[in-house]
């Protein structure tokens, strides 16, 4: 069997032969991988920067994917912490961490959408209270996860969604996906009266945005929930103390651990159905797994999906 193999945190994967996977537990099965997305989480676990990185080598990366089970059925599967990921011709899944896909599901679109889509889907469904009629700002709205967050917030009943990002060309696309406004970080003040911030950037940009938002609020006693989801701008953020004293700001995180795995799994069928039905716009580009080394550093904005 051939797979992408990582032998150290500072080297890209190499496409080469590796041992066949073996199912060991009663809930495990060997499956054929059809499509696996190159997500920020995948890169971060592979380079050691994510808090769940195992540090075990050799490592086959890939945290999820669309697979064909021994009965020929298509499944979307999420892998637990393992050194045998989905960037391979075959892998082992825990059937309890997978869902059967609806008829007509496109493996590439599903593999591209589920991980970035679930980040905001789970945050709004499982991490905070999100009734219909809320106002939302999405920080980092021009990335794959941010673009989907704009759409998902609207799908869940947000009355206003403000998309915030740095890439002005990509910002211009977001009103067509449901954003009521698309602004740069320099214009963050227009998001002053949102109820929820979905933050995919963190770092200095997020910390720098807090006071301009809070100081411009019409009523600082109105609660603002800041949901920290991604950290593409930095793992730490110098949060100003005044942000916590001068307004009703609540900062929570949403991700592996703060949302139980069973809650993520419970939401997967509805998200997969939304993608299959065309309810969410997905940017996906299939790439042969044999080209993994060349594609590993791609930053085009498209979600790359490796196809063995």
Q: Would you say residue 119 lies in a domain?
A: no
Residue 154 DSSP SS3: helix
**Are 109 and 156 part of one and the same domain?**
no
pLDDT value at residue 55: 66
Q: Are strands 64-68 and 28-37 parallel, antiparallel or unpaired?
A: antiparallel
The domain spanning residue 145 has which CATH number?
3.40.50.720
Q: How many domains does the chain have?
A: 2
Q: Alpha helix locations (H) across the chain?
A: 40-47, 107-122, 144-155, 168-171, 203-215, 241-245, 261-276, 292-295
Q: Would you say residue 143 lies in a domain?
A: yes
pLDDT tens by residue, 61-81: 999 999 999 999 999 999 987
**Are 293 and 178 part of one and the same domain?**
no
pLDDT value at residue 299: 77
Q: Would you say residue 120 lies in a domain?
A: no
pLDDT tens by residue, 165-191: 999 999 999 999 999 999 999 999 999
**Are 248 and 264 part of one and the same domain?**
no
Domain boundary pick from 253, 281, 296? 253
pLDDT tens by residue, 186-245: 999 999 999 999 999 999 999 999 999 999 999 999 999 999 999 999 999 999 999 999
Q: Give the Cα separation of 307 and 287 in Å (integer).
A: 6
**Are 273 and 205 part of one and the same domain?**
no
**Are 302 and 197 part of one and the same domain?**
no
**Are 108 and 194 part of one and the same domain?**
no
Q: Would you say residue 124 lies in a domain?
A: no
Q: Kindly report the pTM of this predicted structure.
A: 0.93
**Secondary structure element (H or E) that encloses residue 3, with its range:** strand 2-5
Give the number of other Cβ atoms within 10 Å of residue 27's Cβ.
11
pLDDT value at residue 53: 65
Residue span of the structural domain in which 224 resides: 129-253
pLDDT tens by residue, 253-270: 999 889 999 999 999 999
**Are 32 and 107 part of one and the same domain?**
yes
**Are 103 and 191 part of one and the same domain?**
no
**Are 232 and 291 part of one and the same domain?**
no
Domain boundary pick from 226, 253, 280? 253
**Are 221 and 271 part of one and the same domain?**
no
Q: Would you say residue 123 lies in a domain?
A: no
Q: Which long-range contacts (CB under 8 A, 24 or more apart) does 277-285 make?
A: 279/155, 280/113, 280/117, 280/148, 280/151, 280/152, 280/155, 281/147, 281/151, 281/177, 282/109, 282/112, 282/113, 282/148, 283/112, 283/144, 283/147, 284/37, 284/108, 284/109, 284/111, 284/112, 284/113
Q: Give the Cα separation of 283 and 305 in Å (integer).
A: 10
pLDDT tens by residue, 79-138: 987 889 999 999 999 999 999 999 899 999 999 999 999 999 999 999 999 999 999 999
In degrees and rounded to multiples of 5, residue 282 shows phi and psi of: -130, 130
Q: Where are the beta strands (DSSP E) in 73-183?
A: 74-78, 90-94, 98-100, 135-139, 160-164, 181-183
Identify which has the larger pLDDT, 5 or 299: 5
**Are 298 and 235 part of one and the same domain?**
no
Q: Would you say residue 122 lies in a domain?
A: no
Q: Would you say residue 188 lies in a domain?
A: yes
Q: Give the Cα separation of 286 and 298 in Å (integer).
A: 13
């Amino acid at each position: 069997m051939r797979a992408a193999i990582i032998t150290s945190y500072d080297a890209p994967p190499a496409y080469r032969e590796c041992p066949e996977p073996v199912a060991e537990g009663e809930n495990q099965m060997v499956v054929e991988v059809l499509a696996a997305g190159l997500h920020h989480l995948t890169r971060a676990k592979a380079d050691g920067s994510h808090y769940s990185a195992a540090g075990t080598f050799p490592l086959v990366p890939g945290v999820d994917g669309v697979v064909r089970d021994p009965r020929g059925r298509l499944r979307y599967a999420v892998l637990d912490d393992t050194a045998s990921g989905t960037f391979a011709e075959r892998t082992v899944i825990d059937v309890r961490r997978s869902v059967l896909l609806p008829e007509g599901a496109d493996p590439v679109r599903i593999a591209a959408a589920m991980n970035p889509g679930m980040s905001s889907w789970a945050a709004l469904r499982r991490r905070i209270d999100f009734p219909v009629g809320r106002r939302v700002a999405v920080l980092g709205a021009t990335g794959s996860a941010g673009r989907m967050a704009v759409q998902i917030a609207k799908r869940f009943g947000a009355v206003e969604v403000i998309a915030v990002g740095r890439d002005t060309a990509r910002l211009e696309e977001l009103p067509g996906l449901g954003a009521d406004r698309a602004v740069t970080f320099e214009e963050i003040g227009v998001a002053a009266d949102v109820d929820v911030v979905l933050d995919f950037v963190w770092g200095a940009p997020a910390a720098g945005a807090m006071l301009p938002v809070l100081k411009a609020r019409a009523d600082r006693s109105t609660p603002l929930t800041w949901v920290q989801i991604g950290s593409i701008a930095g793992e730490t953020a110098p949060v100003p103390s005044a942000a916590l004293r001068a307004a009703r700001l609540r900062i929570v995180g949403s991700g592996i651990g703060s949302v139980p795995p069973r809650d993520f799994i419970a939401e997967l069928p509805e998200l997969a159905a939304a993608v299959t039905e065309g309810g969410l716009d997905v940017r996906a580009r299939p790439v042969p797994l044999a080209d993994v080394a060349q594609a590993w550093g791609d930053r085009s904005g498209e979600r790359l999906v490796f196809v063995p």
